Structure 1
Amino acid sequence: MKNLFIIGSSICLLLLASCNDSDEKGTATVNVRLTDGPAMYDAVNIDIQRIEINSNGEWTALNFPKPGVYNLLNFKNGTDVVLGQAVLPEGNVSQMRMVLGPNNTLVVNGITHPLQTPSAQQSGLKFNWHQTLAANGAYNVWIDFDAGRSIVTTGNGAYILKPVIRTFSELTNGQIKGYVQPQAAKAVVHAIMASDTIATAIPNPDGFFMFSGLSQGSYTVSYDASNGTGYVDENSGPVSVTFGQITDLGTKTLHQ
């Protein structure tokens, strides 16, 4: 009888351990990076103090070692900066939240202007990121802060920050890159799907441009020379975009 009791107790303990193991969720690592859409300013300085991710209905703060001011214009044409990392339980991610400090400024023609951000300072900027995290997975996610579309000028000449933000991961990152010449054309490049301009790039001094975070599909790439330069606008297309691949357009030379 005693032996039967010991055996029965052992079986119960094994079953309880098995149930506990099955209830435990695995974790995934999320690395968060900051990138930017272009803008015709000298600098767009954003005071980022805290970033949180909503996982399975709960907010988790990012391990963010360097809170402070970031000039968004330093992170264009495929350039980015690592903000931090979070370890999250497997499951669904729905949103992210960025809390800004008070030191947000805009530099225009060498003059620094304050950027008003009342709602951001109170509760944080919320934006969607939908992803299902698998146990033991590692994910890179980009916060794409569109500086050009995020600045609003008031009637009295002040500037307000109304952020336009999107997120994408390696799984949803369609990319186009290329060069446009000559530098004298001062071209701006647009990625257009159907009749909608999806993204805009201001090329680097050497003519390099890159679009990231595009959805899959067919695009027209428009090279628009600045007025007064004498160069003629040109288009390339259709340009096919597929996740996991970089579509390289080579060099486009505009002519007068």
Structure 2
Amino acid sequence: MEHRKAVSLRPLVQSFLVLCCLCIVALFVSACSSMTGNLSGSGMASVTTMISDPATCATPNGPFSHVYVTITDVKIHNSASAGANDSGWVDLTPNLAKAPKQVDLLGLANNQCFLASLGDAQQIQAGTYQQIRIILASDSASISSNACGNGSANCVQTSKDSTFHTLSLSSEDQTGIKIPPGQMAGGGLTVAAGKTTDLDIDFLTCQSIVQQGNGQYRLKPVLHAGEVSTVSASINGTVLDGSTGKPVAGTTWVAVEQKDLSGVDRVVQSTIANADGTFVFCPLASGNYDVVVSGVRSSDGALYAPSIVTGVAVGDTTGNIKLNAPTLPAASSFANLNGLVTSASNASPAAPISIDATLTALETVNSVVYTIPQQPAASPFYGVSQVVTTVAGPVGTPPVACPSGTDCINYSLPVPSGSAYIGAWSSGGAMLSQPSPLASYAVDGITTSTCTANDVNSNPPIALTGSGPFANVAVTTNLQFTGCQ
């Protein structure tokens, strides 16, 4: 009798074991699904990784002959908030760990507009990725065939005395340089199953190097990234003074922009127009861009009203873009947007913590928000944005005591007081008009540190009023970064 009971229970035991296995598999699949987030389960894709840099600070016009960085890895993640040590990172350059790549960011690009390839194509899961991290070698690392004359893995060589200086890192050799969605074309990198995607990392060198008070150089990295084509893919044009029909007698910044997920036009690439007014952007991902131009007149420092040409496709030329000289006196042609950036840690209670933040001026034109390249009177200046570092107060002029539990820094962004001229691209040249005489601005701050919000905006926009002068216009809403680590 007991034997018959044992035999009759075997099927039940087997069914129970099968059910347990199925449960475990289901839990495993569920866990994997939660880890991959917005990754597609439809297949695999290939990604190649390259570096570019439309440098504006190279000799003879800039202070540097060479800027060398040594890259040891590039990783990508589907989550914008993933920490450096979180799971789910995908290695795009596994071979760099054994053979780091030293790249001269001021070197000559090849015919395809790239400075260097960072390895062979890698197979990754298809889907959308929203964060990239670039790991640099520590300054003391031993590098084969090191081009830095002082033995550092990362260095700058000045054009004035040809001296090599160590390019100091913060955490780029540990946690890596973070490229968040706001600095990725389209707000993220989408790779399709069965396709090969060419990822370009645009290293904005000239905005990323700061000479500190002790004379040493430090990397405050500003990067953009996005899919490109290795075939010729460019936008070009010419900037002219609207009153003379000749190249602007001063400095002209040109930026190509695309909307991010919140509808704000973000800079994808930027450059200074040549002496004859011409400019070229390459490489660019296929699609449409807005070309935004601003300029400063060298004779008196007056700022031109910006010009915006919308809907420019890769492969097109903008033709001549006119910049309209200010009708106001030079002192009234700009406004200073002033304020305070604060940063607090995620501790409880919050404690001061130092972060780097990239600040840009956003102008609303016809209900659309565009990034306006800055044209500060201070020289030298090599970027469309301003990078600041919060520190323990008091700081600035006049001194400002940081709010309790924060580090802080004053900022001042000089921007054109005249509203932008805008028009849609046309093969015969864009017809630009000015919707209003004076501009409306907000200040935007993005940090690569992990904070509660990595993108902080000073909305609502400030509408400039009156006939000037505008030098004392101030942003009263501080940019507050909280929960940082």
Q: TM (normalized to structure 2)? A: 0.39
> 2:173 corresponds to which letter in structure 1?
Q
Displacement of 1:177: 1.4
Mapped partners of 1:67, 1:161: distance in 2: 19
In structure 2, the residue matched to 1:221 is: 293
Give yes or no for the alignment of 1:38 onto 2:55.
yes
Whole-angstrom CA distance in 2 between matches of 1:186 and 1:178: 17
Alpha-carbon distance in 1 for matches of 2:256, 2:296? 12
Partner residue, 2:74: 51
| AA of the residue aligned to 1:211 | F
Please tell me whether residue 248 in structure 1 is matched to residue 323 in structure 2. Answer: no
| SS class of match (2:193) | coil
Cα deviations across residues 209-228 of structure 1 (Å, max 9, x unaligned)? 32355995544434657x47
Query: Deviation of residue 39 (structure 1)?
Result: 3.5
Q: Which residue identity does 1:191 align to in structure 2?
A: A
Matched, 1:88 2:138: no
Structure 2 unpaired stretches of 5+: 1-39, 58-63, 80-87, 140-152, 241-245, 258-264, 324-485
- 1:107 aligns to 2:123 (yes or no): no
Q: How many Å separate the matches in 1 of 2:126 and 2:290?
A: 34
Considering fraction of residues, name the structure with more strand.
Answer: 1
1:33 CA drift (Å): 1.4
Q: Does 1:166 align with 2:224?
A: yes
Q: Which amino acid aligns with 1:38?
A: A
Q: Structure 1 residues 218, 122: closer, same or farther in 2, change over 3 A?
A: closer
On the 8 A contact 1:32/1:143 being kept in 2, the answer is yes
Which aligned runs of 4 or more in structure 1 are off by greater than 6 angstroms?
Answer: 180-183, 204-207, 232-236, 251-254
Contact 1:43 1:106 (8 Å CA) reproduced: yes
Change (3 A) 1:55 1:86: farther
C-alpha distance in 2 between matches for 1:222 and 1:166 = 20
Distance 1:219 1:179 in 2: 11
Shift in CA distance, 237/76, structure 1 to aligned 2, threshold 3 Å: farther
CA distance in 1, matches of 2:93, 2:107: 22
Residue 121 to residue 63, structure 1, CA distance change in 2 (3 Å): closer
Question: Aligned partners of 1:27 and 1:116: how far apart in 2?
Answer: 38
| Residue of 91, 101, 114 corresponding to 1:68 | 101
CA distance in 1, matches of 2:252, 2:103: 24
CA shift in 2, pair 1:190/1:76, >3 Å: farther
1:116 to 1:97, Cα distance in 2 relative to 1, 3 A: same
Moved more, 137-146 or 216-225: 216-225
Could you tell me how far 1:162 is from its partner in structure 2?
Answer: 1.2
Larger radius of gyration: 2
Q: Is the 8 A contact 2:254 2:273 kept in 1?
A: no
Would the alpha carbon gap of residues 47 and 188 (structure 1) be closer, same or farther in structure 2, given more than 3 Å must change? farther
Structure 1 unmatched ranges of 5 or more: 1-22
Task: Output one character per residue of 1:86-139: Cα deviation in whole Å (capped at 9) or x when no partner.
Answer: 210122322222111121111222222110013011222222352332210221
Question: Are residues 1:97 and 2:133 paired?
Answer: yes
What secondary structure is seen at the aligned counterpart in 2 of 1:210?
strand
- 1:157 is displaced (CA, Å) by 1.2
Letter in 2 for 1:35: S
Q: Distance in 1 between matches of 2:122 and 2:292?
A: 37
- Rounded to whole Å, the distance in 1 between the matches of 2:118 and 2:197 is 14
Partner SS for 1:149: helix
* 1:31, distance to aligned residue in structure 2 (A): 1.4
Q: Tell me the residue number matched to 2:419.
A: none
Q: How far 1:34 sits from its partner (Å)?
A: 0.7
Structure 1 residues 187, 64: closer, same or farther in 2, change over 3 A?
Answer: farther
What percentage of aligned pairs have identical amino acids? 26
Distance 1:233 1:92 in 2: 40
Q: CA deviation at 1:154?
A: 0.9
Q: Report the residue type matching 1:92 in the other structure.
A: T
Q: What amino acid sits opposite 2:178 in the alignment? A: K
Instruction: Say whether the 8 Å CA contact 1:37–1:148 is kept in structure 2.
Output: no
Query: CA distance change for structure 1 residues 60 and 49 in 2, over 3 Å: closer, same or farther?
Result: closer
**1:238 to 1:247, Cα distance in 2 relative to 1, 3 A:** farther
After TM superposition, the score normalised by the length of structure 1 is 0.68
Partners of 1:38 and 1:90 in 2: how far apart?
A: 33
Deviation at 1:247, TM superposition (A): 3.3
**Structure 2: how far apart are the matches of 1:76 and 1:235?**
32
1:12 matched residue in structure 2: none
* 2:45 match: secondary structure: strand
Measured in 2, the distance between the counterparts of 1:251 and 1:54 equals 41
